[in-house]
Amino acid sequence: MSKRRGMTIKQETSKVRKIIKSRCPTLSVRMGPGTARNFIDIMGSKDEFGRFDASEKRCLKSFGIDTGLGGGVVMDWRDRERFLKKYGR
């Protein structure tokens, strides 16, 4: 549980998901599986490997998220805190 906001990991992930999906509805944003639940997985819709199309890359770049060359992006707890501080409502 984050001490600063009093929200659980699940609540923080839900908030990040709502913010990203409001601008980029085609992305898949989910909590990491099992012991990786502290991470947020962001996957594209281009193919089965989670690659991003051009509009998704532009959208993520507007949030300051670098997509790199591979498929998908992982946001760790530090990234999540910075994201919520900057874009959380």
The answer to whether residue 4 is domain-embedded is: no
47-75 in b/e form (b: 16+ CB < 10 A) is eeebbbeeebbebbeeeebebeeeebbeb
Quick: pLDDT tens for 25-44: 999 999 988 888 899 999 99
The answer to whether residue 35 is domain-embedded is: yes
Question: Is the confidence at residue 57, as pLDDT, over 80?
Answer: yes
Residue 2 has a pLDDT of 45
The answer to whether residue 57 is domain-embedded is: yes
Q: How far apart are the first and last CA of the chain?
A: 19
The answer to whether residue 3 is domain-embedded is: no
The answer to whether residue 41 is domain-embedded is: yes
Q: Domains in the chain: how many in total?
A: 1
pTM: 0.84
What number of CA atoms fall less than 13 Å from residue 75's CA on the CB side? 25
The answer to whether residue 2 is domain-embedded is: no
Q: What confidence category does residue 64 fall into, taking pLDDT thresholds of 50, 70 and 90?
A: very high
d(CA 50, CA 43): 5
Which of 12-21, 34-43, 66-75 is least confident?
A: 66-75
Residue 54 contacts residue 47 (beta carbons within 8 Å): no
User: Could you tell me the residue range of the domain that residue 24 belongs to?
Assistant: 9-87
